[in-house]
Amino acid sequence: MKKITLDQPVIYEIKVPGILNENWFDWNGRLKIKVERDLYPEPVSILTISIDQAELHGLLGHLYAFGIPLISVVCKEYFMNEKE
């Protein structure tokens, strides 16, 4: 299993309420946004990106600055490795 460290990028999935546009955030084309409309009562944007812990902190700061609340933040790579 890959050990998670502060400086190694891993895949994170961040869920926020509403519809976000990829143009809102400049992450050098690394940020992917999918809007899920069928699983929840209201649309939920699912942000997926491979970043290290410092960049994650920065991204969460941007969401906070825009007044966007968090539904969840999950380290997908960690859970994928846990199943192996």
> What is residue 80's predicted lDDT score, i.e. its pLDDT?
55
Does the pTM surpass 0.95? The reply is no
In the block, residue with structure tokens 């895949």: 11
> What is each CA distance from 52 to 25, 32, 44, in whole angstroms?
17, 16, 24
3-state secondary structure of 53: helix
Q: Is residue 28 part of a domain?
A: yes
Which range marks the domain in which residue 56 is found? 10-82
Q: Is 49 in contact with 32 (CB distance < 8 Å)?
A: yes
Q: What is the pLDDT along the chain (84 residues), one digit of tens a residue?
A: 567 788 889 999 999 999 998 777 777 778 999 999 998 899 999 999 999 999 999 999 999 999 999 999 999 876 555 544
> What is residue 2's predicted lDDT score, i.e. its pLDDT?
64
Q: Is residue 47 part of a domain?
A: yes
Q: Is residue 4 part of a domain?
A: no
Q: Is residue 57 part of a domain?
A: yes
User: Domain tally for the chain?
Assistant: 1
Q: Is residue 1 part of a domain?
A: no
> Tell me, what CATH number does 70's domain have?
3.30.70
Q: Is residue 5 part of a domain?
A: no
In the block, residue with structure tokens 């084309």: 29
Q: Is residue 70 part of a domain?
A: yes
3-state secondary structure of 79: helix
Q: What residues pair up with 44 in beta bridges, in sequence order?
A: 17, 36
Q: Give dist(CA 9, CA 28) in Å, integer.
A: 15
